[in-house]
A and B are shown apart, each in its own frame.
Chain A
Protein backbone atom coordinates (compact mmCIF):
# COMPACT_ATOMS: atom_id res chain seq x y z
CA UNK A 1 0.00 0.00 0.00
CA UNK A 2 1.56 3.34 -1.06
CA UNK A 3 0.14 5.24 1.94
CA UNK A 4 2.87 6.32 4.36
CA UNK A 5 0.22 6.76 7.04
CA UNK A 6 -0.76 3.12 6.59
CA UNK A 7 2.86 2.00 6.85
CA UNK A 8 3.44 4.01 10.05
CA UNK A 9 0.27 2.67 11.64
CA UNK A 10 1.24 -0.82 10.56
CA UNK A 11 4.54 -0.34 12.41
CA UNK A 12 2.54 0.75 15.47
CA UNK A 13 4.01 4.23 15.37
CA UNK A 14 1.94 6.91 17.07
CA UNK A 15 0.65 9.12 14.25
CA UNK A 16 -0.33 12.77 14.36
CA UNK A 17 -2.63 14.33 11.80
CA UNK A 18 -4.07 17.81 11.51
CA UNK A 19 -6.76 19.21 9.25
CA UNK A 20 -7.12 22.08 6.85
CA UNK A 21 -10.22 23.33 5.09
CA UNK A 22 -9.88 24.25 1.41
CA UNK A 23 -10.60 27.91 0.65
CA UNK A 24 -14.01 29.44 0.08
CA UNK A 25 -12.79 30.76 -3.25
CA UNK A 26 -10.14 29.99 -5.82
CA UNK A 27 -7.17 31.46 -3.92
CA UNK A 28 -5.05 28.73 -2.34
CA UNK A 29 -2.37 31.05 -0.91
CA UNK A 30 -3.49 30.85 2.72
CA UNK A 31 -4.17 27.10 2.47
CA UNK A 32 -0.62 26.57 1.21
CA UNK A 33 0.86 28.79 3.89
CA UNK A 34 -0.96 26.90 6.65
CA UNK A 35 0.03 23.57 5.08
CA UNK A 36 3.70 24.69 5.13
CA UNK A 37 3.44 25.62 8.83
CA UNK A 38 1.68 22.42 9.89
CA UNK A 39 3.20 19.77 7.58
CA UNK A 40 6.68 19.44 9.16
CA UNK A 41 5.06 18.51 12.50
CA UNK A 42 2.48 15.93 11.42
CA UNK A 43 2.28 12.64 9.53
CA UNK A 44 -0.60 13.72 7.32
CA UNK A 45 -3.03 16.58 6.80
CA UNK A 46 -6.74 15.92 6.43
CA UNK A 47 -8.46 18.02 3.80
CA UNK A 48 -12.10 18.55 4.70
CA UNK A 49 -15.01 18.14 2.28
CA UNK A 50 -17.50 21.01 2.41
CA UNK A 51 -17.23 20.76 6.18
CA UNK A 52 -20.45 21.33 8.06
CA UNK A 53 -22.18 21.46 4.65
CA UNK A 54 -20.53 24.83 3.97
CA UNK A 55 -19.36 25.31 0.39
CA UNK A 56 -15.59 25.21 -0.18
CA UNK A 57 -13.17 24.17 -2.92
CA UNK A 58 -13.23 20.44 -3.67
CA UNK A 59 -10.85 18.52 -1.38
CA UNK A 60 -9.63 16.64 -4.45
CA UNK A 61 -7.80 19.72 -5.75
CA UNK A 62 -6.55 20.87 -2.36
CA UNK A 63 -5.31 17.36 -1.47
CA UNK A 64 -3.63 16.98 -4.88
CA UNK A 65 -1.81 20.25 -4.21
CA UNK A 66 -0.49 18.81 -0.94
CA UNK A 67 0.78 15.74 -2.82
CA UNK A 68 2.64 18.02 -5.23
CA UNK A 69 4.28 19.71 -2.26
CA UNK A 70 5.35 16.35 -0.86
CA UNK A 71 2.79 16.45 1.96
CA UNK A 72 0.67 13.37 2.64
CA UNK A 73 -3.05 14.18 2.60
CA UNK A 74 -6.05 12.35 4.01
CA UNK A 75 -8.86 13.32 1.67
CA UNK A 76 -12.20 13.46 3.44
CA UNK A 77 -15.07 12.37 1.25
CA UNK A 78 -18.75 12.64 2.12
CA UNK A 79 -21.87 11.11 0.57
CA UNK A 80 -23.89 14.30 0.91
CA UNK A 81 -22.93 16.00 -2.35
CA UNK A 82 -22.16 13.13 -4.72
CA UNK A 83 -23.97 10.07 -5.99
CA UNK A 84 -22.16 6.78 -6.57
CA UNK A 85 -20.93 7.85 -10.01
CA UNK A 86 -19.43 11.09 -8.74
CA UNK A 87 -17.88 9.40 -5.69
CA UNK A 88 -16.17 6.81 -7.87
CA UNK A 89 -14.95 9.38 -10.40
CA UNK A 90 -13.51 11.57 -7.66
CA UNK A 91 -11.88 8.53 -6.06
CA UNK A 92 -10.29 7.49 -9.37
CA UNK A 93 -9.12 11.07 -9.84
CA UNK A 94 -7.68 11.10 -6.34
CA UNK A 95 -5.84 7.83 -6.94
CA UNK A 96 -4.38 9.21 -10.18
CA UNK A 97 -3.18 12.33 -8.34
CA UNK A 98 -1.33 10.26 -5.73
CA UNK A 99 -3.84 10.69 -2.90
CA UNK A 100 -3.69 7.47 -0.90
CA UNK A 101 -5.74 8.08 2.25
CA UNK A 102 -9.49 8.57 2.35
CA UNK A 103 -11.64 9.36 5.36
CA UNK A 104 -15.03 8.03 4.25
CA UNK A 105 -17.93 9.92 5.80
CA UNK A 106 -21.68 10.22 5.39
CA UNK A 107 -21.49 13.99 5.89
CA UNK A 108 -23.49 16.53 7.88
CA UNK A 109 -26.97 17.17 6.54
CA UNK A 110 -27.16 19.93 3.93
CA UNK A 111 -29.52 21.95 6.14
CA UNK A 112 -26.66 22.31 8.68
CA UNK A 113 -24.70 24.55 6.32
CA UNK A 114 -24.84 27.57 4.03
CA UNK A 115 -26.70 25.93 1.13
CA UNK A 116 -29.74 24.69 3.02
CA UNK A 117 -31.99 24.80 -0.04
CA UNK A 118 -29.79 22.47 -2.07
CA UNK A 119 -30.60 18.84 -2.65
CA UNK A 120 -28.84 16.40 -0.34
CA UNK A 121 -27.69 13.29 -2.22
CA UNK A 122 -26.95 10.46 0.28
CA UNK A 123 -27.07 7.87 -2.50
CA UNK A 124 -24.73 5.81 -0.28
CA UNK A 125 -23.88 6.05 3.41
CA UNK A 126 -20.42 5.77 4.98
CA UNK A 127 -20.57 1.95 5.30
CA UNK A 128 -21.51 1.53 1.64
CA UNK A 129 -18.87 4.11 0.61
CA UNK A 130 -16.17 2.15 2.45
CA UNK A 131 -17.42 -1.08 0.86
CA UNK A 132 -17.25 0.56 -2.57
CA UNK A 133 -13.69 1.81 -2.00
CA UNK A 134 -12.64 -1.68 -0.87
CA UNK A 135 -14.06 -3.00 -4.14
CA UNK A 136 -12.12 -0.36 -6.09
CA UNK A 137 -8.95 -1.39 -4.23
CA UNK A 138 -9.67 -4.91 -5.48
CA UNK A 139 -10.09 -3.59 -9.02
CA UNK A 140 -13.84 -3.35 -9.52
CA UNK A 141 -16.50 -0.67 -9.49
CA UNK A 142 -19.62 -0.71 -7.30
CA UNK A 143 -21.37 -2.94 -9.85
CA UNK A 144 -18.52 -5.44 -9.90
CA UNK A 145 -17.19 -4.37 -13.31
CA UNK A 146 -13.39 -4.36 -13.67
CA UNK A 147 -11.44 -1.09 -13.51
CA UNK A 148 -8.54 -0.14 -15.78
CA UNK A 149 -6.13 0.23 -12.89
CA UNK A 150 -7.23 -0.46 -9.37
CA UNK A 151 -6.90 1.93 -6.45
CA UNK A 152 -4.84 1.42 -3.29
CA UNK A 153 -6.60 3.55 -0.73
CA UNK A 154 -5.98 3.39 3.00
CA UNK A 155 -9.48 4.00 4.34
CA UNK A 156 -10.57 5.56 7.58
CA UNK A 157 -14.01 5.97 9.09
CA UNK A 158 -15.52 8.22 11.71
CA UNK A 159 -16.33 7.09 15.25
CA UNK A 160 -17.77 8.83 18.29
CA UNK A 161 -16.49 7.31 21.55
CA UNK A 162 -18.44 9.69 23.79
CA UNK A 163 -21.78 9.60 21.98
CA UNK A 164 -24.90 8.46 23.81
CA UNK A 165 -26.33 5.91 23.41
CA UNK A 166 -23.03 4.32 22.31
CA UNK A 167 -24.52 0.82 21.96
CA UNK A 168 -26.62 1.96 19.00
CA UNK A 169 -23.48 3.03 17.11
CA UNK A 170 -21.57 -0.18 17.78
CA UNK A 171 -23.04 -2.38 14.99
CA UNK A 172 -22.15 0.32 12.48
CA UNK A 173 -18.55 0.47 13.72
CA UNK A 174 -18.38 -3.30 13.16
CA UNK A 175 -19.84 -2.88 9.66
CA UNK A 176 -17.29 -0.17 8.84
CA UNK A 177 -14.47 -2.49 9.87
CA UNK A 178 -15.93 -5.39 7.89
CA UNK A 179 -16.36 -3.09 4.87
CA UNK A 180 -12.65 -2.23 4.86
CA UNK A 181 -12.01 0.66 7.26
CA UNK A 182 -8.47 0.40 8.67
CA UNK A 183 -8.61 3.28 11.14
CA UNK A 184 -11.23 5.20 13.05
CA UNK A 185 -10.79 8.92 13.34
CA UNK A 186 -12.83 9.84 16.36
CA UNK A 187 -14.98 12.82 17.09
CA UNK A 188 -13.35 15.19 19.60
CA UNK A 189 -12.62 13.37 22.84
CA UNK A 190 -12.44 14.97 26.27
CA UNK A 191 -12.77 11.98 28.57
CA UNK A 192 -9.67 9.74 28.31
CA UNK A 193 -11.47 7.00 30.25
CA UNK A 194 -14.26 6.85 27.65
CA UNK A 195 -11.61 6.73 24.93
CA UNK A 196 -9.83 3.82 26.52
CA UNK A 197 -13.16 1.98 26.89
CA UNK A 198 -13.81 2.67 23.23
CA UNK A 199 -10.38 1.37 22.23
CA UNK A 200 -11.01 -1.81 24.21
CA UNK A 201 -14.41 -2.26 22.52
CA UNK A 202 -13.05 -1.93 18.98
CA UNK A 203 -9.76 -3.77 19.60
CA UNK A 204 -11.10 -7.14 18.35
CA UNK A 205 -11.94 -5.45 15.03
CA UNK A 206 -8.26 -4.80 14.33
CA UNK A 207 -8.90 -1.17 13.40
CA UNK A 208 -6.50 1.56 14.58
CA UNK A 209 -7.86 4.49 16.58
CA UNK A 210 -6.83 8.07 15.93
CA UNK A 211 -8.37 10.28 18.61
CA UNK A 212 -9.82 13.65 17.68
CA UNK A 213 -8.35 16.51 19.72
CA UNK A 214 -10.17 19.82 19.60
CA UNK A 215 -8.29 23.03 20.35
CA UNK A 216 -10.76 25.41 21.94
CA UNK A 217 -10.27 29.16 22.17
CA UNK A 218 -12.94 30.25 24.63
CA UNK A 219 -16.04 29.19 26.52
CA UNK A 220 -18.07 31.11 23.95
CA UNK A 221 -16.59 29.06 21.13
CA UNK A 222 -17.33 25.83 23.04
CA UNK A 223 -20.94 26.91 23.53
CA UNK A 224 -21.22 27.83 19.85
CA UNK A 225 -19.93 24.38 18.87
CA UNK A 226 -22.38 22.71 21.26
CA UNK A 227 -25.24 24.58 19.66
CA UNK A 228 -24.26 24.37 16.00
CA UNK A 229 -21.95 21.47 15.17
CA UNK A 230 -23.66 18.09 14.84
CA UNK A 231 -22.14 15.30 16.88
CA UNK A 232 -19.75 17.54 18.83
CA UNK A 233 -20.46 17.90 22.54
CA UNK A 234 -18.05 19.70 24.82
CA UNK A 235 -18.68 18.66 28.44
CA UNK A 236 -19.81 21.37 30.90
CA UNK A 237 -16.64 20.91 32.99
CA UNK A 238 -14.45 21.90 30.03
CA UNK A 239 -16.65 24.89 29.18
CA UNK A 240 -16.40 25.96 32.83
CA UNK A 241 -12.59 25.62 32.81
CA UNK A 242 -12.41 27.90 29.78
CA UNK A 243 -14.82 30.38 31.33
CA UNK A 244 -12.77 30.62 34.53
CA UNK A 245 -9.39 30.87 32.81
CA UNK A 246 -7.52 34.17 32.76
CA UNK A 247 -6.21 33.30 29.30
CA UNK A 248 -8.90 31.06 27.73
CA UNK A 249 -6.94 30.47 24.50
CA UNK A 250 -3.93 29.18 26.47
CA UNK A 251 -6.26 27.09 28.63
CA UNK A 252 -7.81 25.60 25.48
CA UNK A 253 -4.36 24.64 24.29
CA UNK A 254 -3.57 23.16 27.72
CA UNK A 255 -6.75 21.03 27.61
CA UNK A 256 -5.84 19.79 24.12
CA UNK A 257 -2.32 18.83 25.25
CA UNK A 258 -3.63 17.06 28.38
CA UNK A 259 -6.04 14.91 26.36
CA UNK A 260 -3.48 14.26 23.63
CA UNK A 261 -0.92 13.08 26.22
CA UNK A 262 -3.45 10.62 27.65
CA UNK A 263 -4.07 9.32 24.12
CA UNK A 264 -0.43 8.34 23.72
CA UNK A 265 -1.01 5.37 25.96
CA UNK A 266 -4.50 4.37 24.84
CA UNK A 267 -4.67 4.71 21.06
CA UNK A 268 -2.66 4.80 17.84
CA UNK A 269 -2.61 8.48 17.06
CA UNK A 270 -4.23 11.86 17.43
CA UNK A 271 -5.99 14.07 14.94
CA UNK A 272 -5.65 17.75 15.84
CA UNK A 273 -8.58 19.98 15.04
CA UNK A 274 -7.18 23.45 15.58
CA UNK A 275 -10.35 25.21 14.37
CA UNK A 276 -8.42 27.79 12.38
CA UNK A 277 -5.58 28.15 14.94
CA UNK A 278 -3.30 25.96 12.89
CA UNK A 279 -0.22 27.84 14.16
CA UNK A 280 -0.65 26.06 17.54
CA UNK A 281 -0.17 22.61 15.99
CA UNK A 282 3.65 22.66 16.33
CA UNK A 283 3.46 23.43 20.06
CA UNK A 284 1.00 20.57 20.71
CA UNK A 285 3.22 18.20 18.79
CA UNK A 286 6.27 19.43 20.74
CA UNK A 287 4.43 18.75 24.02
CA UNK A 288 3.63 15.24 22.79
CA UNK A 289 7.23 14.41 21.95
Chain B
Protein backbone atom coordinates (compact mmCIF):
# COMPACT_ATOMS: atom_id res chain seq x y z
CA UNK B 1 0.00 0.00 0.00
CA UNK B 2 0.98 3.66 -0.35
CA UNK B 3 1.89 5.07 3.04
CA UNK B 4 1.08 8.74 3.47
CA UNK B 5 0.95 11.16 6.39
CA UNK B 6 -1.34 14.12 6.90
CA UNK B 7 0.25 17.55 6.60
CA UNK B 8 0.02 19.60 9.80
CA UNK B 9 -2.89 22.06 9.85
CA UNK B 10 -0.54 25.06 9.88
CA UNK B 11 0.67 23.92 6.45
CA UNK B 12 -2.83 23.28 5.13
CA UNK B 13 -4.42 26.56 6.22
CA UNK B 14 -2.11 28.86 4.19
CA UNK B 15 -3.04 26.84 1.08
CA UNK B 16 -6.70 27.59 1.81
CA UNK B 17 -6.22 31.37 1.93
CA UNK B 18 -8.37 33.45 -0.38
CA UNK B 19 -11.50 31.34 0.11
CA UNK B 20 -13.68 30.00 2.92
CA UNK B 21 -15.61 27.04 1.52
CA UNK B 22 -13.89 23.66 1.47
CA UNK B 23 -15.00 20.23 0.21
CA UNK B 24 -12.97 17.42 1.82
CA UNK B 25 -12.08 14.20 0.00
CA UNK B 26 -10.69 11.09 1.69
CA UNK B 27 -9.81 7.66 0.35
CA UNK B 28 -11.18 4.32 1.55
CA UNK B 29 -8.04 2.37 0.68
CA UNK B 30 -4.41 3.12 1.68
CA UNK B 31 -5.14 6.56 3.20
CA UNK B 32 -7.72 4.92 5.48
CA UNK B 33 -5.30 2.18 6.59
CA UNK B 34 -2.54 4.65 7.43
CA UNK B 35 -5.03 7.07 9.01
CA UNK B 36 -4.39 9.96 6.64
CA UNK B 37 -7.78 10.25 5.00
CA UNK B 38 -10.30 7.74 6.33
CA UNK B 39 -13.73 8.53 7.84
CA UNK B 40 -12.19 9.49 11.16
CA UNK B 41 -9.52 11.80 9.72
CA UNK B 42 -11.92 13.48 7.30
CA UNK B 43 -14.34 14.16 10.17
CA UNK B 44 -11.53 15.54 12.34
CA UNK B 45 -10.33 17.76 9.48
CA UNK B 46 -13.87 19.06 9.06
CA UNK B 47 -14.00 20.00 12.76
CA UNK B 48 -10.58 21.66 12.63
CA UNK B 49 -11.42 23.68 9.52
CA UNK B 50 -14.70 24.87 11.07
CA UNK B 51 -12.79 25.86 14.22
CA UNK B 52 -10.39 27.80 11.96
CA UNK B 53 -13.31 29.74 10.49
CA UNK B 54 -13.82 27.75 7.30
CA UNK B 55 -17.10 26.43 5.94
CA UNK B 56 -17.16 22.77 4.88
CA UNK B 57 -19.57 22.30 1.96
CA UNK B 58 -19.39 18.50 2.21
CA UNK B 59 -17.12 15.48 2.52
CA UNK B 60 -16.69 12.22 0.65
CA UNK B 61 -14.58 9.09 1.05
CA UNK B 62 -13.87 7.75 -2.41
CA UNK B 63 -13.22 4.03 -2.74
CA UNK B 64 -9.72 4.24 -4.30
CA UNK B 65 -9.02 7.88 -5.14
CA UNK B 66 -6.26 6.72 -7.52
CA UNK B 67 -9.02 5.30 -9.73
CA UNK B 68 -9.50 8.29 -12.04
CA UNK B 69 -12.87 7.42 -13.61
CA UNK B 70 -14.40 6.45 -10.26
CA UNK B 71 -13.14 9.65 -8.62
CA UNK B 72 -14.69 11.71 -11.43
CA UNK B 73 -17.97 9.84 -11.13
CA UNK B 74 -18.11 10.14 -7.33
CA UNK B 75 -17.38 13.87 -7.45
CA UNK B 76 -20.15 14.35 -10.05
CA UNK B 77 -22.54 12.59 -7.66
CA UNK B 78 -21.84 15.42 -5.16
CA UNK B 79 -21.83 18.12 -7.81
CA UNK B 80 -23.57 20.83 -5.78
CA UNK B 81 -21.27 20.57 -2.76
CA UNK B 82 -18.23 20.48 -5.01
CA UNK B 83 -19.42 23.48 -7.06
CA UNK B 84 -20.11 25.48 -3.88
CA UNK B 85 -16.54 24.99 -2.61
CA UNK B 86 -13.55 27.27 -3.24
CA UNK B 87 -11.16 24.40 -2.57
CA UNK B 88 -11.12 20.61 -2.77
CA UNK B 89 -8.94 19.41 0.12
CA UNK B 90 -7.70 15.88 -0.58
CA UNK B 91 -6.45 13.55 2.14
CA UNK B 92 -4.94 10.70 0.10
CA UNK B 93 -1.70 9.84 -1.66
CA UNK B 94 -0.38 12.07 -4.43
CA UNK B 95 -1.95 9.79 -7.04
CA UNK B 96 -5.38 10.34 -5.51
CA UNK B 97 -4.85 14.08 -5.24
CA UNK B 98 -4.12 14.19 -8.96
CA UNK B 99 -7.17 12.10 -9.85
CA UNK B 100 -9.19 14.83 -8.13
CA UNK B 101 -7.25 17.58 -9.92
CA UNK B 102 -8.01 15.92 -13.24
CA UNK B 103 -11.70 15.48 -12.43
CA UNK B 104 -12.40 19.07 -11.42
CA UNK B 105 -11.39 22.60 -12.35
CA UNK B 106 -11.55 23.63 -8.69
CA UNK B 107 -8.39 24.51 -6.78
CA UNK B 108 -7.09 21.26 -5.29
CA UNK B 109 -5.21 21.36 -1.99
CA UNK B 110 -2.96 18.46 -0.94
CA UNK B 111 -3.55 17.66 2.70
CA UNK B 112 -1.01 14.85 2.88
CA UNK B 113 2.46 13.73 1.86
CA UNK B 114 3.02 10.38 0.14
CA UNK B 115 5.89 8.58 1.83
CA UNK B 116 6.54 5.10 0.48
CA UNK B 117 5.22 1.79 -0.75
CA UNK B 118 4.77 0.06 2.57
CA UNK B 119 4.42 -3.40 3.98
CA UNK B 120 2.10 -3.62 6.98
CA UNK B 121 3.81 -5.07 10.05
CA UNK B 122 0.72 -4.77 12.21
CA UNK B 123 -2.04 -2.22 12.66
CA UNK B 124 -0.52 1.24 12.31
CA UNK B 125 3.03 0.02 11.63
CA UNK B 126 4.46 0.22 8.12
CA UNK B 127 7.85 -0.70 6.68
CA UNK B 128 9.40 0.07 3.32
CA UNK B 129 10.64 -3.12 1.64
CA UNK B 130 10.34 -2.28 -2.06
CA UNK B 131 11.26 0.94 -3.87
CA UNK B 132 9.63 0.02 -7.18
CA UNK B 133 13.06 0.09 -8.89
CA UNK B 134 11.78 -1.80 -11.92
CA UNK B 135 14.86 -4.08 -11.92
CA UNK B 136 14.23 -6.73 -9.25
CA UNK B 137 17.33 -8.38 -7.73
CA UNK B 138 15.57 -10.32 -4.97
CA UNK B 139 16.49 -13.68 -6.55
CA UNK B 140 20.14 -12.98 -5.74
CA UNK B 141 19.71 -11.50 -2.29
CA UNK B 142 17.76 -14.07 -0.33
CA UNK B 143 14.49 -12.23 -0.80
CA UNK B 144 15.72 -9.10 1.01
CA UNK B 145 16.02 -5.93 -1.07
CA UNK B 146 19.31 -4.05 -0.50
CA UNK B 147 18.23 -1.32 -2.90
CA UNK B 148 15.51 -0.39 -0.40
CA UNK B 149 16.63 -1.63 3.00
CA UNK B 150 20.16 -0.19 2.63
CA UNK B 151 20.08 3.64 2.60
CA UNK B 152 22.87 3.59 0.00
CA UNK B 153 21.27 0.82 -2.06
CA UNK B 154 24.54 -1.15 -1.88
CA UNK B 155 24.54 -4.04 -4.36
CA UNK B 156 27.70 -5.88 -3.36
CA UNK B 157 27.82 -6.13 0.40
CA UNK B 158 27.86 -3.85 3.43
CA UNK B 159 29.47 -0.41 3.35
CA UNK B 160 32.26 0.64 5.68
CA UNK B 161 29.80 2.24 8.06
CA UNK B 162 28.33 -1.04 9.31
CA UNK B 163 29.02 -1.48 13.03
CA UNK B 164 28.08 -4.49 15.13
CA UNK B 165 25.77 -5.49 12.28
CA UNK B 166 23.89 -2.19 12.37
CA UNK B 167 23.43 0.59 9.82
CA UNK B 168 25.54 3.78 9.87
CA UNK B 169 22.53 5.91 9.00
CA UNK B 170 20.29 4.58 11.78
CA UNK B 171 21.92 2.19 14.23
CA UNK B 172 18.54 0.90 15.38
CA UNK B 173 18.32 -0.80 11.96
CA UNK B 174 20.18 -4.00 11.10
CA UNK B 175 22.47 -3.65 8.10
CA UNK B 176 20.59 -5.02 5.07
CA UNK B 177 23.67 -7.02 4.06
CA UNK B 178 23.96 -8.64 7.47
CA UNK B 179 20.40 -9.94 7.14
CA UNK B 180 21.05 -11.02 3.54
CA UNK B 181 24.24 -12.81 4.60
CA UNK B 182 22.46 -14.59 7.46
CA UNK B 183 19.60 -15.66 5.20
CA UNK B 184 21.92 -16.95 2.45
CA UNK B 185 24.10 -18.74 5.01
CA UNK B 186 21.01 -20.39 6.50
CA UNK B 187 19.97 -21.52 3.04
CA UNK B 188 23.47 -22.82 2.29
CA UNK B 189 23.96 -20.53 -0.69
CA UNK B 190 26.52 -17.95 0.41
CA UNK B 191 28.13 -18.36 -3.00
CA UNK B 192 25.45 -15.96 -4.22
CA UNK B 193 27.63 -13.23 -2.69
CA UNK B 194 30.80 -14.28 -4.52
CA UNK B 195 30.43 -12.33 -7.74
CA UNK B 196 29.95 -8.63 -8.36
CA UNK B 197 26.34 -7.71 -9.09
CA UNK B 198 26.03 -5.62 -12.27
CA UNK B 199 25.28 -1.92 -11.88
CA UNK B 200 21.63 -0.93 -11.81
CA UNK B 201 19.81 0.13 -14.95
CA UNK B 202 18.31 3.43 -13.87
CA UNK B 203 16.54 3.82 -17.20
CA UNK B 204 13.86 1.69 -15.54
CA UNK B 205 13.28 4.64 -13.22
CA UNK B 206 12.63 7.13 -16.02
CA UNK B 207 9.24 8.66 -15.35
CA UNK B 208 6.36 9.13 -15.90
CA UNK B 209 5.65 5.42 -16.23
CA UNK B 210 2.73 4.09 -18.23
CA UNK B 211 1.54 0.55 -18.65
CA UNK B 212 -1.28 -0.62 -20.84
CA UNK B 213 -2.48 -4.21 -20.73
CA UNK B 214 -4.47 -3.73 -23.93
CA UNK B 215 -3.31 -6.12 -26.64
CA UNK B 216 -2.13 -4.93 -30.04
Q: Which residues of A contact B (CB under 8 A)?
A: 80, 84, 105-106, 108-109, 111-112, 120, 122-128, 131, 142, 158, 160, 163-165, 167-169, 171-172, 174-175, 178-179, 187, 230-231, 233
| Beta-carbon contact of B168 and A231 below 8 Å | yes
Q: Which of B9-17, B109-117, B135-143, B152-160 contacts A (4 or more CB under 8 A)?
A: B152-160
Q: A84-B199, A108-B161 are in contact. List 6 more A-B contacts (CB 8 A).
A: A125-B152, A127-B157, A164-B163, A168-B178, A172-B193, A231-B159
Q: Does B194 contact A (CB under 8 A)?
A: yes
Query: Could you say which of A105, A120, A168 contacts B157, with CB atoms under 8 Å apart?
Result: A168
Give which listed residue, A158, A164, A165, contacts B160 with CB less than 8 A: A158
Contact A125/B154 with A109-B169, A112-B168, A171-B190 known, Cβ cut-off 8 Å: yes
How far is B158's CA from A160's CA once the two chains are assembled, in angstroms? Answer: 11
Asked if B196 contacts A178 (CB within 8 A), the reply is: yes
Quick check: is B164 within 8 A (CB to CB) of the other chain? Answer: yes
Q: Is the CB of B162 within 8 A of A169?
A: yes
Measured between beta carbons, the chain A residues less than 8 angstroms from B160 are 105-106, 158, 160, 163, 187, 230-231
Interface readout for B143-180 with A: 1 if CB under 8 Å, 0 if not? 00000000111111111111111001100000101100
Q: Do A168 and B181 touch across chains, with their CB atoms under 8 A apart?
A: yes
Inter-chain contacts of A128 with B (CB < 8 A): 155-156, 196, 198-199
Complex CA distance for A105 and B181, rounded to whole angstroms: 21
Q: Is B79 an interface residue (CB 8 A)?
A: no
Contact residue among A105, A112, A131 (Cβ-Cβ distance under 8 Å from B196): A131
Closest residue to B182 on the A side, CB-wise? A168
Q: Does B123 belong to the interface (CB within 8 Å)? A: no
B156 and A172 within 8 A (CB)? yes
When distances are taken between beta carbons in the complex, the residues of chain A under 8 Å from B154 are: 106, 122, 125
Once the chains bind, are A108 and B157 in contact (CB under 8 Å)?
no
**A142, B177: Cβ atoms closer than 8 Å:** no
> Chain B interface residue count: which class?
20 to 34
Chain B residues with CB below 8 A from A80, complex form:
152
Report the separation of the CA atoms of residues A178 and B197 in the bound assembly, to the nearest whole angstrom.
Answer: 12
Q: Which residues of B contact A109 (CB under 8 A)?
A: 151-152, 161, 168-169
A175 and B199 in contact (CB under 8 A), knowing A108-B168, A120-B152? no
Across-interface contacts of A169 in B (CB, < 8 A)? 157-158, 162
A105 to chain B, nearest CB (A): 8
Determine whether the beta carbon of A122 is less than 8 Å from that of B162: no
* Contact (Cβ within 8 A) B152 A106: yes
Q: Let me know if B195 is at the binding interface, CB within 8 A.
A: yes
Q: In the assembly, what is the distance between CA of A111 and CA of B170, in Å?
A: 10
Name the distance in Å between A88's Cβ and chain B's nearest Cβ.
Answer: 12
Tell me the minimal C-beta distance from A133 to chain B in angstroms.
Answer: 13
Tell me if A163 and B153 are in contact (CB < 8 A).
Answer: no
Contacts of B168 in A (CB 8 A): 108-109, 112, 230-231
Bound together, the chains give a CA A188 to CA B177 distance in angstroms of 22
Q: How far is the CA of A239 from the CA of B138 in the complex (A)?
A: 42
Asked, given contacts A158-B160, A168-B162, whether A174 binds B152 with beta carbons under 8 Å apart, the answer is no
User: Given A108-B161, A165-B165, A233-B163, is A122 in contact with B153 using a C-beta cutoff of 8 Å?
Assistant: yes
**B181 / chain A contacts, CB cutoff of 8 Å:** 165, 167-168
Taking CB atoms, residues of chain B closer than 8 Å to A174 are 194
